[in-house]
Amino acid sequence: MKAKSMVATVAVLLLLFVGTAVADSHGIGWQDLTESQRAVLSQFEDAWESLPADRQMRLSRGAERWGAMTPKQREKAQVRFQAWRELPDDRRNRIRERAEEFRKLSPEEQQRIRDNYRRYRKMNRDRRDMLRDRYQQMTPEQRQRMRDRAHKRPRTRPRD
């Protein structure tokens, strides 16, 4: 794949994970993009004016972020994008739905989830495997009760 095409493709992936941007109903003109944004988005040039305004906004912001990345960050983004492309459509749709649900949560609830995830990632592999296996063996009702109890629990300082 050509480098320019890869850059544009990665920029599009980044936009999939970005929250919905509110764009001006008139959108963004191609000529209003910076030179670096136009370079990243070159594959969209012919169709740019026909894209919905919110998509133009997301693409322009993604191209801006891409331009600010280091080569190492770009490489990591390309790897993530390739992994994303290899996922089955139903899995990608579930991920998008969960991301949308997460964005609808309060900032406090989002932070609680991030903190829990960080604690989980810091656990040793055996402990993570044990917790994951135990969770997978629960019924949906047991899982919901566990989530409800965790939500009601007073927040304490995260364990390191």
| pTM metric for this prediction | 0.55
Per-residue buried b or exposed e for 55-93, using 16+ beta carbons within 10 Å of the residue's own CB: ebbbbbbbbebbbeeeeeebeebbeebeeeeeeeeeeee
- Of the listed ranges 19-23, 56-60, 130-134, the least confidently predicted one is 19-23
Q: Where are the domains of the chain?
A: 3-91, 106-160
Task: Report the 10 Å Cβ neighbour count for 28.
Answer: 18
Rounded to the nearest 5 degrees, what angle is found at the Cα of 55, between the Cα atoms of 53 and 61? Answer: 105
Mean of pLDDT values over 61-74: 94
Q: Is the pLDDT of residue 23 over 50?
A: no
Average model confidence (pLDDT) across the chain: 84
Q: What is the mean pLDDT of residues 22-44?
A: 84
Mean pLDDT throughout 123-136? 93
Tens digits of residue pLDDT in 74-92: 999 999 999 999 999 999 9
